[in-house]
Structures are given as structure tokens and as C-alpha cells.
Amino acid sequence: MSRPDVAALADLLRPALQQSGVELVEVQWKGSGPGSLLRLVVDRPGGVGLDDCERASLTASAILDAYDPIETRYSLEVSSPGAERPIRTDEEWRAALGRRVHLRVRSGDAERVVEGRLIAAGGPTVEVEARTGRGRPQPLTIEAADILSARTAVDI
């Protein structure tokens, strides 16, 4: 049994989910065989609630039943990206402007963590207002190529 093509599933589901009012952020496949899980991560401006997830689940189920693109039994789960969501695409970087971000950054042969408010993104660099050793916020420019992972962070 081969794993389903998550990119093809995303292409199949995206238009119907948009029509139901949510954006498909990610498609994940976990496991193999009858105990597998198809997880759809959806979002919309202002965030998603339980009703949005239920509507997206019903929509996705109808599409998956009609096209039957998966050879094995599986469970379907629909969820939000959560408060600390990954930042991967240009659109996600733009949406994170002004928010607190957590970046894992390559620094020579090592890694470091930068956390602060995202003040600019796009092109070859991002700019984060981060606290220095003395606690004063200062703009820090980071090469996009050096960012290993990025996610939004919750302000406490």
C-alpha cells in the first residue's frame, strides 16, 4: 500500500474548503494501513472555531467519498494551526507581521534562537525587533536562508 499523495489531496480539497469559508493550510498523513490518519489543518482570518472545523470536515468527507483517492481505511481529522503556527510561505510571513515570532537560525556551525516582534519580511531578509542583553528592543536583520524554522509565538 502506497502513501497517498498529500499534494494531490490538497489540490483536490482546496477549492471546496475555500467555498466553505476556510483556507487549507496543510495536509498531513500519519501511519500506514487501516489505522492511518488524514489531518487537514485549516485557517481563516480571525482564526477558526469548532463550527468551522466541523463544516470543513463535512465538506472534505463529501469530496473524499466522491473521488475515493485513498486506497486504505483512515480517520479524518480537521484542526486549526494553533496559536504557535509554523511560518513557511510568503503569505504566512506577511500574516505574521507585527506578531511575536520564534526563529531557529543557523549561526555558523551552530544554531541560535531569536524571539521578538516581526517588523519586516520579504526578499532575502527578515527583520525582528528583539531584546538585547540589556533588555532593550533593537531591530535585528536575519538572512532568510539562515532561518531553519519559524513559528508565531504567544505573547504572555
22 and 75 in a single domain? The answer is yes
The per-residue pLDDT for 135 is 74
Shared domain for 13 and 73, answered yes or no, is: yes
Specify the number of domains making up the chain.
2
Q: Are residues 105 and 70 in the same domain?
A: no
Same domain assignment for residues 98 and 74: no
- Is the domain of 73 the same as that of 95? no
**How far are the Cα atoms of 28, 35, 46, 56, 75 from residue 31, in angstroms, in the given order?**
10, 7, 32, 22, 11
Give residue-wise pLDDT tens across range 84-107.
888 988 888 998 999 999 999 998
Amino acid identity of 98?
A: G
Q: Which of 17, 48, 79 is the last residue of a domain?
A: 79
Q: Which domain holds residue 97?
A: 90-152
Q: Is residue 1 part of a domain?
A: no
> Could you tell me if 126 and 97 lie in one domain?
yes
Q: Which of 51, 79, 107 is the last residue of a domain?
A: 79
Q: Is residue 67 located within the same domain as residue 122?
A: no
pLDDT at 101: 95
**Are residues 95 and 137 both part of a single domain?**
yes
**Chosen domain end from 29, 60, 79:** 79
DSSP H or E segment with residue 126: strand 125-131
Domain with 127 in it: what CATH number?
2.30.30.100
Nearest-10 crossing angle of helices 50-67, 6-19: 120
What is the pTM assigned to this prediction?
0.71
4-60 pLDDT, tens digit each: 999 999 999 999 999 999 999 999 999 988 889 999 999 988 888 999 999 999 999
Q: Is pLDDT above 80 for 126?
A: yes
Residue 99 forms part of a structural domain: yes
* Domain contains 85: no
pLDDT at position 134 is 74
In a domain, 21, yes or no: yes
